[in-house]
Amino acid sequence: MHRTPLTMSIHMLRARTIATAVRATANIPISHNLRRGTLNWKGSSLNFSTTGTGNGTMFAASAAVGLASTSASPGAGDAGSASNFFSLKAKDKGHQEVDLSQYANKVILVVNVASRCGFTEQYTELEQLYKDYKDRGFVVIGFPCNQFGAQEPGSNEEIEKFCKLNYGVTFPIMDKIEVNGNNEDPVYAFLKSQKSGLMGLTRIKWNFEKFLVNKDGTVYKRYSSATKPSSIAEDIEKLL
Residue whose C-alpha is closest to residue 10's, from 46, 54, 55: 46
239 — phi, psi (to 5°)? -90, -20
Kindly report the number of other CB atoms within 10 A of residue 36's CB atom: 8
CA distance 240 to 182: 35
Residues 6+ apart with CB under 8 A from 55: none
User: Is 145 tagged catalytic?
Assistant: no
- DSSP β-bridge partners for residue 77: none
Q: Are the CB atoms for 4 and 11 separated by under 8 Å? A: no
CA distance 45 to 29: 13
- Candidate list 117, 139, 201, 233, residue with the active-site label: 117
Residue type, 65: V
Instruction: Give catalytic residues, as residue numbers.
Output: 117
